[in-house]
Amino acid sequence: MASKDVFSDITTHDPLDPNPWLALYLDDSIPINPRTKLALMRDNNSWSARYLQPLILVWSKITMVFIYIFKYFIPRFPNSSKVLHRILAWGLKRFVSPDANLLIFRHFWVGSEILEFIAKNIDQVKVDTNPLKPVDFEDVKKDLFLLHDLNLYNFVIRLNNQLIEKGIQVMPKEQLDLSFITDDQFPHIEFPNKWTNVLDLRSAIEVFTPFYQLFLTYNDFIRASNSLQLDETIAIYSSKILSSPAHISLVNNKHPMVPATTYNAAYRLVLHGLAAETLHQILVNIKKNRAEDGVIITR
C-alpha cells in the first residue's frame, strides 16, 4: 500500500501496484495550482479517505433523511447561522487535516477572484462584489459559507439586471484586467496538524452537511445545494470574456435549471472546488503569459 511519501519520492513507485493519485499528480493535462494539486492528491491518498470516508458517507445520508423529516414538521427550528458557523470553525480547527483545510480556505479566495474577474472585464457594467478572503478560523464564524452562496446568486442577479437594462451582452475582451489575480498562494494561517486533524476533504464535508441542513432554513439549504450548478453559468461568462470555451469541459456541475438532489451535495461540492481551481489557474496562466510578453495588465 503506497504512502504519502510517494509524492515526494517517486522511487517508492511499484509498477505492479501503481498509485492512482501519483499518476494524476504527475499528469499535467488539467490546469491547477501545483500546491493545490499536491494537497488534493495527498487528501485522496489519505487514511481517512480510504477507511473513514465510506462509513461517514453512510452516516451522513441516513442522518440527512431524519433531519429532512424533522424539518418538515418544524421547518424553522433550529435556525441559527451563527451557531452553525461556530460549529464549522470548531470542527475545521480540531478534526480536519491541513491539506483539506488548505483546499477549503483557498476556495473562498479563488471564488472571489473569479467573480471579480468577470465583474471587471465586462464593458459598461459595474457589479459590486463581496470578496470573501478568510485567513483563520475566526473568519469562518462570520457566516462565511452562507455568504459564499448568497454572493453567487446576488452576483448573477445584479450582473444580468444590468445587461438587460443596458441591452448588452458579455463579449470578448482583449485587454483583460487581471491585476487582482493571485499568482500562487494566499495568506492563510498554518493549519493545525494534531493527532485529531485526520479528516479528508470529502469526509469533512459529509460530516458538516447534516449540520448545514439542520441549522439553516429549507430555502438556505436548497439554495446552497443548487448554487453548485452555477459552475456552468460562471464558466460561460468567463468563456465569453476569454473568447475560448475550452475550460467549460472541465465543469461537471451543470444544468442549473434542473436542480440535483441534495443527498449528493458533498460530492458535487468537491467538484465545485475543482472547477473553481482550474478556471482560476487558467487566469493565472494568462496573466503570467501576458506579463512575459510585455503586455500591460490594466487596473
> How many Å apart are CA 92 and CA 48, to the nearest integer?
15
Residue 54, pLDDT score: 96
Residue 204 lies in a domain: yes
> How many Å apart are CA 38 and CA 111, to the nearest integer?
20
Q: Is 53 left (phi over 0), alpha (psi -120 to 50) or beta?
A: alpha
Residue 169, pLDDT score: 95
Residue 288 lies in a domain: yes
Residue 12 lies in a domain: no
Instruction: With beta carbons less than 8 A apart as the criterion, state whether 222 and 262 touch.
Output: yes
Number of domains in the chain: 1
Residue 207, pLDDT score: 97
Residue 243 lies in a domain: yes
**Cell numbers 498509485: residue:** 19
Residue 3 lies in a domain: no
Instruction: With beta carbons less than 8 A apart as the criterion, state whether 93 and 192 touch.
Output: yes
Instruction: With beta carbons less than 8 A apart as the criterion, state whether 48 and 203 touch.
Output: yes
Residue 12, pLDDT score: 80
Residue 4 lies in a domain: no
Domain that holds residue 144: 35-292
- Residue 79 is given by DSSP the state -
Residue 2, pLDDT score: 42
Instruction: With beta carbons less than 8 A apart as the criterion, state whether 124 and 96 touch.
Output: no
- What nine digits make up the cell of 34? 501545483
CA-wise closest residue to 139 among 195, 204, 187: 187
The alpha carbon of 99 is separated from its chain's Cα centroid by a whole number of angstroms, namely 14
Residue 4, pLDDT score: 46
The alpha carbon of 7 is separated from its chain's Cα centroid by a whole number of angstroms, namely 23
Residue 295, pLDDT score: 56
> How many Å apart are CA 48 and CA 23, to the nearest integer?
20
- Residue 48 is given by DSSP the state I
My answer on whether omega of the bond before 75 falls inside 30° of 0, hence cis, is: no
Residue 1, pLDDT score: 40
Residue 5, pLDDT score: 64
> How many Å apart are CA 4 and CA 6, to the nearest integer?
5
Low-confidence ranges of the chain (pLDDT < 70): 1-5, 293-299
Residue 53 lies in a domain: yes
Residue 232 lies in a domain: yes
pTM above 0.85, yes or no: yes
Instruction: With beta carbons less than 8 A apart as the criterion, state whether 146 and 83 touch.
Output: no
